[in-house]
Chains A and B, each alone.
Chain A
Amino acid sequence: MNTGFVQSVRALVTLKPKQKLTAQYLLSLLIAVSLAFLVGAGIMLLCGYDPVACYAALFKGALGKPRALGNTLAKTVTLCLTGLAMSVAAKAGIFNVGGEGQLYLGGLAAAVVGARMADSPAWLIVVCALLAAMAAGGAYAWLPGILKVKLRVNEVVTTILLNSAAIYFCSYLANGPLKTAERGIPSGTDSIAAAAWFPPLIRLSSLTTGVFYAAGITLFIWYLMTRSTAGFEMKITGTNPRFARYGGIRADRLALWGMVLSGMVCGVVGPLEVFGLHHRFLTTLSSEFYFDGMLVAMIMRYQPVGVILMSFFFAILNIGGSAMELSAGISSEVILIVQSVIIFFMAAEGGISEMARRSAAERRVRRAARRAEKEASA
């Protein structure tokens, strides 16, 4: 028989990365989420609100109407893309905290392309805009990446600082050289060609056809991370960098490309907002979208499937939070507190369960000792 074929199939099966999301981890997640909701309920009670009514308003506001569901799904897409962007970089051994800036630059690049190419066919505009956004985001991620790889400059700090720089730079362009001549627009670029707008899939909601582009990218990243050679190299580098080096994996190059890819994905989130919602670049393009996505990725330990599912949950909290503020009256920021509590517990999950295990073991030993003592005296 064709042993080569059998071998490669077997190799593929054995190479299939094991999900690190074990049952125990998922149980901890459930506990953490419940605890976080309890903390939220406590805060609501303290402020004189009825927690049951508040949470009911939250879920109804996120899932109750088709329009609300559309908004939630749109938010899921954003979180999912940003979360995957974070995961790709983190799996390659480098942290990209600068997604916000990459997102802004991507949005601006796409908006400029969309406005300048007004006479071209719509599909060409969209393709060019997406490419421009990827180029802008990727280039802006390349800079901290190369600084890290070549000079060992801490990438967490540089990417955070470059965020602020990019946002100010974009707002300079949108208020200055690229400011639209249209009246009634205080700041923002020219409007993009109407033919290229992403039409909404659900009426009045922010869920647009952009979701298909996002799905394509998500699929690509999932494939890259779980099924490709690069993904396998990432996995090895992430779990045992020394072994990876002996195995001939060039960790630096992997990190650099992980960073650039991460920046490209962040860059694409910009045009999704620009073409789907605002139809021009606005200085209020994103409100810390990337940081939400980053947290989703961290909680799910950078596993693509987990990130996709968790994005939906965080989107419910996010969209439902504003609805809750409108109908129940409590400030939506309570949701941010709930989210951060989830993160605290999930980050500490390993330590806490280890401590619990150790104290349980100690108790067992003590009980056994007592029993032995009793038997000895009897």
Chain B
Amino acid sequence: MSDVFNLLLLQNTLRTATPVVLCALGCLMTDQVGIMNIGVDGMMLMGAFFAVLGSYLFGSWLMGLAFAFALGVLLGLFYYVFSIKFKSDEFIIGVALNILAGGLTVFLLRTLFGVKGSFSGPGIVPLPTLDWPWLERIPVLGPVLNGNTLLVYVSWLMVAGSWVFLYKTPLGFHLRASGEAPEALRASGKSPERMKRLASVLCGVLATLSGAHLSLGYLTMFSENMSASRGFVAVACVIFGGSNPPRVFLAALLFGFIDALGLRLQKYIPSDLTSMAPYVVTVVMMVAVVLLRRRRQSTRSLAS
């Protein structure tokens, strides 16, 4: 079993968790303003495609990221207009976004690149891996932490950044207020709609960047439906982590660990069962968090 449980497992955990971390952070932003955006899966998929497109057209990973970023802003605004401005059912809009993403990416894949299934090639420039000698010197974990692709480090910064943003800045406070007490926010002269727009755009950008990591960092290719329900796992992580960035990060890491473990156990267990594991574990996690919360509440009420 030493070929399964080693440092490489941790490295794979980081790699598989990163798209979920970024996407979950995005989903968390809308969750804080009271919208459950299940369209993040589609946003991730479109982000993955446009990142590859930008990278391929301009021969630069930076343009890939720029494409994903611009798309994220657009999708965020689009989501805002439909779910807040037009007051549509956020759930229906989310599902429709996912359908649109599936159709649009495959359509563009066939029309622009003339291929079916997946597109890979030397023309796609992947995200760079960063090499920091000082990280390498950390005992045991050094080789795991060092040498990851750019967005892995960005995602860590984002976890800290979004926590600071949400809980330590006035803007973050207003953003949370627009979900919890929109009337109070309006009374204080701030527009809840604008906060919701901000959250929606942040969500779009983070979700498309997670897609960019998927297609330029994790792999260097785009394949049909490559998000593989990771967006939904991200939504589950947000619920599991109670919309708190560090907790959501831990939930995503747990998912990444199960996923990576499954990949490495394929020698011993049929691959279908190992692919099944992350989804089952996520559901179990969602149930566990409710049970734990209940228990805590009941002990608290006993104590008082």
Residues of B within 8 A of A298 (CB): 89, 92, 95
Tell me whether B100 and A337 are in contact (CB under 8 A).
Answer: yes
Closest residue on chain A to residue B103 by CB atoms: A336
Complex CA gap A163/B95 in Å reads 15
Q: Say if the beta carbon of B236 comes within 8 Å of chain A.
A: yes
Q: A11 interface residue, CB < 8 Å from B?
A: no
Q: With the chains together, A255 CA to B110 CA distance in Å?
A: 43
Given contacts A162-B283, A165-B283, A347-B89, contact A294 B106 (CB under 8 A): no
Q: Could you tell me which residues of chain A, from 334 to 376, have a CB within 8 Å of some CB in chain B?
A: 334-337, 339-341, 343-344, 347-348, 350-352, 354-355
| B91 adjacent to A156 (CB under 8 Å) | yes
Contact at A47–B111, with CB atoms within 8 Å?
Answer: yes
Stretch at the interface among A63-71, A74-82, A105-113, A168-176: A168-176
Residues of A within 8 A of B283 (CB): 158, 161-162, 165
Closest to A344 in B: B96
Residues of chain B with a CB closer than 8 A to A6's CB? none
Interface class of chain A by DSSP:
helix
Q: Is B107 an interface residue (CB 8 A)?
A: yes
Is A25 interfacial (CB-CB < 8 Å)?
no
Q: Give the interface segment out of A147-155, A197-205, A260-268.
A: A147-155
* Total interface residues in chain A, CB < 8 Å: 46
Main secondary structure of the interface of B (DSSP, over half): helix
CB of A314 to closest CB in B, whole Å = 12
Q: Please name the residue on chain A nearest to B81 by beta carbon.
A: A348
Interface of chain B residues 258 through 304 with chain A (CB within 8 A): 270, 272-273, 275-276, 279-280, 282-283, 286-287, 290-291, 294
In the complex, chain B residues whose CB is within 8 Å of the CB of A333: 102-104, 106-107, 110
Q: State A341–B100 Cα separation when bound (angstroms).
A: 8
Shortest Cβ distance from residue A61 to the other chain B in the assembled complex, whole angstroms: 18
0 or 1 for each of B99-142: is its CB under 8 Å from A? (1 = yes): 11011101100110000000000000000000000000000000
Q: Does B88 sit at the interface, judged by CB under 8 A?
A: yes
Check if A352 sits within 8 Å of B276, measured CB to CB: no
Q: Does A160 contact B (CB under 8 A)?
A: yes
Is B14's CB within 8 Å of the partner chain A?
no
A222 interfacial contact with B, CB 8 Å = no
Query: Min CB distance, A224 to chain B, in Å?
Result: 24
| Residue of A161, A162, A172, A344 touching B82 (CB-CB under 8 A) | A344
Closest-by-CB residue of A relative to B42 is: A340
- Contact status of A151 and B96, CB under 8 A, knowing A160-B232, A161-B232: no
- Say whether B4 faces chain A, with CB atoms less than 8 Å apart: no
Residue pairs across A and B with CB atoms within 8 Å: the count is 139
Q: What mask results when residues 60 to 100 of chain B are scored 1 for a CB within 8 Å of chain A, else 0?
A: 00000000000000000000001001111101110111011
Complex alpha-carbon distance, A351 and B80, angstroms: 13
Alpha-carbon separation in the docked complex, A355 to B229 (Å): 35
0/1 string, B223-258, CB within 8 A of A gives 1 = 000001100110110010000000000000000000
B-facing mask of A263-301, CB < 8 A → 1, else 0?
000000000000000000000000000010011001000
How many Å from the CB of B68 to the closest CB on chain A?
A: 20
Q: Find out whether the CB atom of B99 lies under 8 angstroms from the CB atom of A157.
A: no
- Report A163-199 residues with CB < 8 Å from chain B CB: 163-165, 168-169, 171-172, 175-176
Q: Is B221 engaged at the interface, CB distance under 8 Å to the other chain?
A: no
Q: What are 13 A-B residue pairs whose CB atoms fall within 8 Å in the complex?
A: A157-B232, A171-B272, A172-B276, A295-B95, A295-B96, A333-B106, A333-B107, A335-B103, A336-B99, A340-B97, A343-B95, A344-B93, A347-B93
Given contacts A331-B111, A340-B99, 15 further A-B pairs with CB under 8 A are A153-B287, A158-B283, A164-B228, A164-B279, A298-B95, A336-B103, A339-B99, A343-B96, A344-B88, A347-B86, A347-B88, A348-B82, A350-B88, A351-B85, A352-B86
A-B pairs, top 10 by smallest CB distance, nearest first, are: A336-B103, A351-B86, A172-B272, A348-B86, A333-B107, A340-B100, A168-B276, A347-B88, A343-B96, A351-B87
